[in-house]
Amino acid sequence: MDWELTGKIIWGLCVVAWGIIRFRPNIKARKTKIATTKRPPIERFSMFASQLGLGIVPAIWVFTGFPKAFDHAIGPASIAIGTALFLFSLYLFRKTHKALGKMWSHSLDLRENHKLVTKGIYQKVRHPMYSAFWLWAVSPPFLLANWVAGLAGIVGFGTLYFLRVGQEEAMMEAEFGEEYRQYKARTKRIIPGIY
Ligand code: SAH
């Protein structure tokens, strides 16, 4: 069995599945006008860092083998862990898109008649979609037999996450006031009960 190829195929299928999960919510959300936007100038940099780390750098290795010097061996146990992490990530993506509906946007925007979602998956943590992205980011080290392709997502998404999460919470607090402060007091950010 070619485990390297297996890992590449599973990674590719999961990324495609993510695109399918996001396709309809993206169209739906775009139909709802943006009322306020709080995108800081650095958002463009952090979104690019995230795309680079989660998608572009691993894809370059998958399709061209570059940078070969950082290749390493992987086996079935590693593939199984990586697959489980990515599948769990996809499950969370689906749940968060369903819960947010047209309130979703890929950056820091508030839509017309924006409601604060605190039920379902949003009862467990405040940023379940970021939990999903973190799960995506930690699966390539197990799925891809190359250190650069494997670790790029942690650096790339980590950049976006840490530059954005505080700003997003400030935006939500400015919009929803006490309701958001109470929500914040009873939930953690991305791991239930821990962080
Ligand atoms: N941080 C959230 C959502 C990411 S999408 C998560 O990880 O699940 C980013 C947009 O979602 C933000 O611009 C904001 O408008 C919206 N958003 C974030 N949390 C929300 C909530 N609890 N209810 C409604 N909209 C929310």
Q: What is the pLDDT of residues 57-92, one digit of tens each?
A: 999 999 999 999 999 999 999 999 999 999 999 999
Asked if residue 193 is part of any domain, the answer here is no
For residue 10, report the distance from its CA to the centre of ligand 1, in Å: 29
For residue 125, the ligand 1 atom closest to its alpha carbon is 8
Secondary structure of the chain: what % helix, strand, coil (to 5)?
70, 5, 25
Asked if residue 192 is part of any domain, the answer here is no
Q: How many domains does the chain have?
A: 1
Q: Is 34 helix (H, G, I), strand (E, B) or coil?
A: strand
Ligand 1 is surrounded, with C-beta below 6 A, by 96, 100, 103-105, 108-110, 116-117, 122, 127-130, 168, 172
Asked if residue 155 is part of any domain, the answer here is yes
Contact 135, 88 (CB under 8 A): yes
Q: Residue 84: what pLDDT?
A: 98
For residue 132, the ligand 1 atom closest to its alpha carbon is 7
For residue 179, report the distance from its CA to the centre of ligand 1, in Å: 14
pLDDT digits 0-9 by tens, 120-129 = 999 999 999 9
pLDDT digits 0-9 by tens, 2-55 = 999 999 999 999 999 999 999 999 998 889 999 999 998 899 999 999 999 999
Nearest to 90 by CA among 191, 17, 141, 25: 17
The percent of residues above 90 in pLDDT, for the chain, comes to 96
For residue 107, the ligand 1 atom closest to its alpha carbon is 13
Asked if residue 17 is part of any domain, the answer here is yes
Atom 16, ligand 1: which residue's CA is nearest? 104
Asked if residue 46 is part of any domain, the answer here is yes
Asked if residue 138 is part of any domain, the answer here is yes
Q: What is the CATH number of the domain that holds 110?
A: 1.20.120.1630
Say if residue 77 is exposed, middle or buried (CB neighbours under 10 Å; 0-12, 13-18, 19+). exposed
Helix (H) or strand (E) holding 69: none
Contact 87, 18 (CB under 8 A): no
Asked if residue 41 is part of any domain, the answer here is yes
Tell whether the model's pLDDT for residue 152 goes beyond 90. yes
For residue 103, the ligand 1 atom closest to its alpha carbon is 25
CA–CA distance, 163 with 104 (Å, rounded to integer): 19
* Opening angle at CA 7, ends 86 and 55, nearest 5: 60
CA–CA distance, 23 with 149 (Å, rounded to integer): 25
* Ligand 1 mutation target, pool 100, 118, 130, 179, most atoms within 8 A of CB: 100
pLDDT digits 0-9 by tens, 164-175 = 999 999 999 999
Buried b (16+ CB within 10 A) or exposed e, 111-140: beebeebbeebbebbbbbbbbbbbbbbbbb
Asked if residue 195 is part of any domain, the answer here is no
Q: Which residues constitute the domain of residue 18?
A: 3-186
Beta-carbon-side half-sphere exposure of residue 85 (alpha carbons within 13 Å): 20
First to last CA, the chain: 39
For residue 51, report the distance from its CA to the centre of ligand 1, in Å: 19
For residue 38, the ligand 1 atom closest to its alpha carbon is 13
